[in-house]
Chain A
Amino acid sequence: MNIHEYQAKEILRAQGVPIPPGEVATTPDQAEAIAKKFGGTVVIKAQVHAGGRGKAGGVKLAKDPAEARAVAAKILGMHIKGLTVEKVLVTPAADIASEAYVGVILDRASKRPVFMVSPAGGIDIEEVAAKTPDKIRRLPVDTRYGLLGYQALELGFFLYDDLKKARAAGAIMQKLYAAFMQSGASLAEINPLVVTVAGDVVALDAKMVIDDNELDRRPEIAALRDESSEAPSEVDARKSNLTFIKLEGDVGCVVNGAGLAMATMDLVKYYGGEPANFLDIGGSSNPEKVVNALRIITADASVKAILFNIFGGITRTDDVANGIVTATRANPLKVPIVIRLTGTNEEIAVKILKDNGFSASADMDEAVKQAVALAKGGKAA
């Protein structure tokens, strides 16, 4: 789960990371009032779950409250990578002497959280890693001990020669690590970590991504979810315990299992079609899930054909068949449907479908070809 910059900053502030003040505005009026309160030049920053906000024009300076109002009016409602900006963060502009990068990310290879720090901050860290890898220092952390004091100081000295600044940076890293662990994050970064003209080390931007598997045991973190920043169909799917990701194509896919769902999308593409979504109904046997899946998929006007691909293991295919019948009885389909199912209780499922006017295939490739042809307005092979 992504959280906004202002939310990540609140978490880090609570750990004691020095961060300049900031307040959230949802209207130009509010932005003006906040700018007046801070006085001087402010930065107005779009709060959306998308990288490259600056390049997209979502981060702007305003030298007085009137300009803050005008800038906020421009940024609020702006679309960045398909997402509408609903909130801006207003914060005093800092006098920056130097910028560094500090991040901690869950690393698959070392099976640990890994600190990445670089004196080349303020820009895309992946670019730094690709072009000047010697400017990045990596340190895997054993979570049984945490980030030890000497380790934090070593990382601090990689950023700054001066002891006072190295210590300040090291202390910030230990606090960042504490926030990372306590929030159940998979990524937490400060970019940039700056030294101000006055010589203070402070965090100007913050980003955190939370491991979805942590949300059940961390309700205070789960409460940070901003549904207005997600596609409505994805919100609906999550509430129905389905994993759904909207894509650009026209073949709506309903599959059980993430790997098979990805392979089904790939096969749609292989046969010349474009998948409209990733949708995993999961392993459980529940006709209700199928009903919800069909509701979400048919709500998408770009879907021209629906493809079911079910390999029954734990999932009983007769449950899926019953779900299809129930859903289509309540809301008759306006687009053609192709059903492939095999495995547990296949014979019962095929009979249920036949009795209700559907046909079913046992072959994945044939079903995908048919669905692609139907989405293109052709006839089933």
Chain B
Amino acid sequence: MSIFIDNSTTVIVQGITGRDGSFHTKQMIEYGTKVVGGVTPGKGGQTFENTVPIFNTMHDAVAATGANTSVIYVPPVFAADAIMEAADAGIKFIVAITEGVPVLDMTRVYPFVKEKGARLLGPNCPGLITPGQSKVGIIPGRICTPGHVGVVSRSGTLTYEIVYQLTRAGLGQSTCVGIGGDPINGTNFIDCLAAFEKDPHTRAVAMMGEIGGTDEQEAAAFVKQHMTKPVVGFIAGQTAPPGRRMGHAGAIISGSSGTAAEKLAAFEAAGMGIAKRPIDFVDLIKARLK
């Protein structure tokens, strides 16, 4: 069991012939992901690596393959359109890897996707992986191992760091989800926490937040009210100066809101474990799995 993806997931890659798209398509196929098609306008009828059919449009791709999931590697200015095209073609789970999508674009995309009944993960995210079954996105497969810890994070490489340390300590993962660092994204912490709570295979959750916004505070309130499974949290950016954007568009402290201290206090009030360092996840989760 897992959340969002498993070995029945069938994937269309939007932007399959681009530099990032082609590299990560190979990696996904190598990991065992069922990549059933790709889209690059003008290259319909060709195949990728002699195996994956390429289509001009998402409607063509979905009609021919029946895929339920798509992953997007197109450049930032085309990303909003690609997401809406996928939703309109009937894709129910859309993973947008693209970094640098204008935030105003997302204000139109979000309600559109919702009205189509689809779920969007990202943009500006590493995607997700259900170890041993499927990966959609760019999380390195070899650092993961199947198990019972659900991982959800706003970051990419920080997630890899923590997953790697969990794996080294023998703590496998049910699903690892990167929700992305942008201020407006399709899937938030609460969506993932609710899914992990329902997933019988997940026994504990590791959650990596960062400064900016109030997502973590809302997630903590959700943990307190609705979660029976233990959750351990971490906040990156405790040393960040206010008013500066720390790489991620969403990682900015405005006024007195969005600080690490505020978020950690919310975790504490929710009875969550608090990892002061990435390595602390290992002991905190082990203690809660006993």
- Give the residues in chain A near B289, CB-CB below 8 Å: none
CB–CB B246/A258 < 8 A: yes
CB–CB A213/B239 < 8 A: no
Closest to A49 in B: B243
Q: A262 vs B156: C-alpha distance in the bound complex, in angstroms?
A: 12
- Give the residues in chain B near A269, CB-CB below 8 Å: 238-239
CB–CB A343/B255 < 8 A: no
Chain A, 216-271, CB within 8 A of any chain B CB: 216-217, 243, 245, 247, 255-263, 265-270
Task: Choose one: A243, A247, A315; the contact of B241 (CB below 8 Å).
Answer: A247
- Give the residues in chain B near A142, CB-CB below 8 Å: 111
Whether B108 is near chain A, meaning CB under 8 Å from some CB there, is yes
CB–CB A259/B157 < 8 A: yes
- From residue A320, how far is it (CB to closest CB) to chain B in Å? 12
CB–CB A256/B157 < 8 A: yes
- Give the residues in chain A near B100, CB-CB below 8 Å: 213, 216
Give 1 or 0 for each of B176-195: 1 = CB within 8 Å of chain A CB.
00000101100000000000
- Give the residues in chain A near B156, CB-CB below 8 Å: 257, 259-260, 283, 313
- Give the residues in chain B near A259, CB-CB below 8 Å: 153-159, 181, 208, 210, 236, 247-248
- Give the residues in chain A near B29, CB-CB below 8 Å: none
- Judged by DSSP, the binding face of A is mixed
Task: Choose one: A143, A243, A255; the contact of B107 (CB below 8 Å).
Answer: A143
Give 1 or 0 for each of B254-285: 1 = CB within 8 Å of chain A CB.
01100000000000000000001111000000
Closest to A283 in B: B156
Q: A212 vs B107: C-alpha distance in the bound complex, in angstroms?
A: 16
Interface range, A side: 35 or more
Whether B60 is near chain A, meaning CB under 8 Å from some CB there, is no
- Give the residues in chain B near A364, CB-CB below 8 Å: 161, 278-279
CB–CB B155/A343 < 8 A: no
Whether A106 is near chain B, meaning CB under 8 Å from some CB there, is yes
- In the complex, number of A-B residue pairs with CB atoms less than 8 Å apart: 155
Q: A269 vs B139: C-alpha distance in the bound complex, in angstroms?
A: 28
Q: A255 vs B156: C-alpha distance in the bound complex, in angstroms?
A: 12
CB–CB A261/B246 < 8 A: yes
CB–CB A266/B251 < 8 A: no
CB–CB A280/B213 < 8 A: no
Whether A47 is near chain B, meaning CB under 8 Å from some CB there, is no
Give 1 or 0 for each of A306-338: 1 = CB within 8 Å of chain B CB.
000001011100000000000000000000000
Task: Choose one: B157, B215, B236; the contact of A266 (CB below 8 Å).
Answer: B236
Between A186, A243, A262, A278, the greatest number of chain B beta carbons within 10 A of the residue's beta carbon is seen for A262
Task: Choose one: B77, B106, B143, B154; the contact of A111 (CB below 8 Å).
Answer: B106
Name A residues whose Cβ lies closer than 8 Å to a Cβ of B. 106, 108-109, 111-113, 126, 142-144, 181, 184, 186, 211-214, 216-217, 243, 245, 247, 255-263, 265-270, 275, 278, 280, 283, 311, 313-315, 342-344, 364-365
Across the A-B interface, the 5 shortest Cβ-Cβ residue pairs: A259-B155, A258-B247, A257-B157, A259-B158, A262-B236
* 20 A-B residue pairings within 8 Å (CB atoms): A106-B183, A106-B184, A111-B184, A126-B256, A213-B249, A214-B104, A245-B246, A247-B239, A255-B157, A258-B181, A259-B153, A259-B247, A260-B157, A261-B246, A263-B234, A269-B239, A270-B277, A278-B247, A313-B138, A313-B140
